Structure formats: structure tokens, C-alpha cells
Amino acid sequence: MSVWFFSDSVMRLGAEEAFVYLARGLELKRRGMDIISFGIGQPDFQPPEHIIEAAKKAMDEGYNGYGPSTGLPELREAIAEYINERFRIDVKPEEVLITVGAKAAVFIGIISLVRPGDEVILPDPGYPHYDSVVKFVGAKPVYVRLSAENKYKMLPENVEEKISDKTRMIILNYPENPIGTTLEEKEVREILSIAEERGIIVLTDEIYDYFVYEGKHYSSLMYEGWRNILYYVNGFSKTFGMTGWRLGYAITNKSIIPRLGTVANNLYSCPVTFVQIAAITALREGFDWFKPILEEFKVRRNLIYEELRKLPGVKLLKPQGAFYVFPDFSEAIREAGLRDERELADRVLEEKGVVVIPGTAFPHEGGKGHLRFSYAVDKNQITRGINRIREWLENKGV
């Protein structure tokens, strides 16, 4: 008998399929196809020069060794200072855990706090990592279906009706991947207050908090009772274009930080040292450089929304945040005689060189009939990519 079988928990892990489609697109490109990618959620701008310079300088100055598992004290302090100035609150450096990407902050939070048999309430469709890790620990995902009835948002009443004696955690992600909706102050506060009353942890992932095109982002850290229930996640990947640098953080009750550091220690020892030094510069140099980027992303959002709206058999919502749109292609899929959104994603990739992610790559079922488009690409590519999809649909008689 072969020795190469896996543990049960590892077999319960799911893969983030955006990475699978990224690889498929790259392979077709290598073979000479002209690829337009609306696939992976990666900003198309480079980190500002001052951050890159700070990383190089940090390496030259010798920041190349191990550091504390909870992160460098200087960066924990810089994050607390930046958050406090931005949201007018009083986070302490001891309440900050630096991690290798926001993903690791989510992973560490769930595996540390959720037990087998617990229930975790999360959005459907949602960022696949949540569902995967909840299943990995042997807990049960309890999905809140995002649909037209709740304006594609996890509203307080939706959360409340899913709470049971077994609920251990509620996961909020706003602005939301993959739909792009966001929550308002009143909605966030109400969910946090329900959770506080019922003694349930809330993991909020606010990684897209700078990509908000209407209104202002309300952070869950502004809720007075946050220390009783909140596990807040954010990171440097999206805002600073630092996806490959792998730096994120969690903010939570300081009593649990040392043990979370022990988990981090067992996983990766410590976050990358020179990247942490560069991140201090990123936070202290201000965000003026980001303003034109946000403007540009807003223009792209409007453009992709208008272009998709004109496609036959397609319905969609205008997203308020992040850099995704999540149109419903159900009618087009039916009229083209396709099986489902997976077949549509495969066909437009193979026949037209357009990378899109099937909605069901975002658990659980809410993404049926949908495709996710990341519009972190230039306007010309948006127009060309959607045109190719139009041609494909028209060719199939839609």
C-alpha cells in the first residue's frame, strides 16, 4: 500500500481557485495566446518608490534575520499609531499581531479560536479561505446567502437568524470579495452588538477598506466594545500593491496575542524582517499617492459596469467597493446551452483568452450562474476583454 495518503483535516482544505485560473492563463500565454486577465485579485500598480527604497535600505542595513513571532515592535507600534489616527481610537501595540499576509492572520485566528463542532457564520459567496479553514478545523460553516433580498449584504437580521448555541464565530468581509458590496456603520455596529450580547467572536476582514467608491469605510474597531469580541484583519497587499511581499496583521484582545504568536512561531517563525521595516515607511509617509489610484479604480469600475450591463443575458449590481464585479450570467448560460458558469469560464478562457473566475469558486452556492471579474486592469483591457465575451456570446446565439 502506498504511504502517500493525507490526513483527514488536510483533505478538508479547499484551494483558492483564482490561483488555478492564474496558472491556466499563464500557461496559455506561454503558448502564445493573447490573454486578458480578470482573474486574480491583484492590483496592477507597483508599490510606491519610497516603500521599495525602504525595503532595499532595510536589507542593506542588516534587517535580514529572524524577528519576534508576533512581529517587530516598531511595526506593531506604527500600525497602532496609524489606526488610531485614522479612526480616532486607542489601539495599543500589544494588541497587534503581524502576520505573513492577511491570509495567515485569518488562518491563525480561525485555527486558534474555533473548535471542532463549533459553527461559524460566513457570507455565501465569500472569500474561499474562510470556508476552507473552518472545515479544516472540523467546524461547521453556516452560510448567509447574499442575494437581491438582502442587497447582497450580510445584514444583522441575516446573522441573527443563523445564530445557535454552537455559534463560535461570525466572519464579516467588507468591502466584500467577490461581490463588492460593503456594510454601513449601522449594520456593522448592530452585528457587533448582537455578537457581544451573545458572546460570539467576530472576525472582520477589512483588507479592501481603501477601495471604497461611495461613502466612507466604517471600521469595526470603532465599535466601543471591540476588545470583548473582535478579531480584526487587514494587510498591505491590496492598498500598497504589495501582494508578493506577504504582510498582514490582526488586531484583537491583547490577552490572546502571545498564544497566537506561538501558532505563528510554529508555522513560519516570524514575518519577513526587511518587509516589516519597509511597512513602517509605508504607514508613516501618508496616502496622498493613493488618491489618483482610487480615482482610476473608480473609473474602471464604472466602465466595466457599463460594458457588462450591455451584454445579452447578463444582470449585475454596481459594486461600492473592492475591485470586483460579480455579474449573473444565468440567462446567457442557458441560452448558450452550457452546463454552468464553470463551462462558461473554461470556454471564454480557451476560445477567447479571457480569464474570469466561476462564481462557485467562492463558496458555497450563491455564486451559481455568476462570474467574478477583477477590474485591476487598464481600461483598454476592460473594453477589449468584455468585447471578446460579447463576441463569444453572440456567436452562440445569446
Return the closest-CA partner of residue 357 out of 384, 380, 329, 334: 329
C-alpha cell at 134: 473552518
Size of the site for ligand PLP (CB under 6 A): 13
In terms of CB distance, is 41 or 385 closer to ligand PLP?
41
> Is 102 one of the binding residues for ligand PLP (CB under 6 A)?
yes
Smallest distance, ligand PLP to C-beta of residue 357, A: 11
When asked if residue 359 is in the footprint of ligand PLP (CB under 6 A), the reply is no
> Does residue 41 touch ligand PLP according to CB under 6 A?
yes
Least distance (Å) from ligand PLP to the CB of residue 260?
A: 16
Nearer of residues 141 and 235 to ligand PLP, judged by Cβ: 235
Could you tell me the smallest distance in angstroms from the CB atom of residue 174 to ligand PLP?
9
Answer for which of 37, 69, 132, 173 binds ligand PLP (CB under 6 A) is: 173
Give the binding range for ligand PLP (CB under 6 A) out of 98-106, 142-150, 180-188, 383-391: 98-106
205 binds ligand PLP (CB under 6 A): yes
CB of 41 to ligand PLP, least distance (A): 4
Residues 6 or more apart in contact with residue 294 via CB below 8 angstroms: 210, 211, 213
* 274: exposed, middle or buried (Cβ count in 10 Å: 0-12, 13-18, 19+): buried
User: Residue 127, interface with ligand PLP (CB under 6 A)?
Assistant: yes
Quote the CA–CA distance of 99 and 106 in Å, as a whole number.
9
x/- mask, ligand PLP, residues 228-267, rule CB under 6 A, reads -------x-x-----x----x-------------------
Residue indicated by cell numbers 451573545: 198
List of residues contacting ligand PLP (CB under 6 A)? 41, 101-103, 127, 173, 177, 205, 207, 235, 237, 243, 248
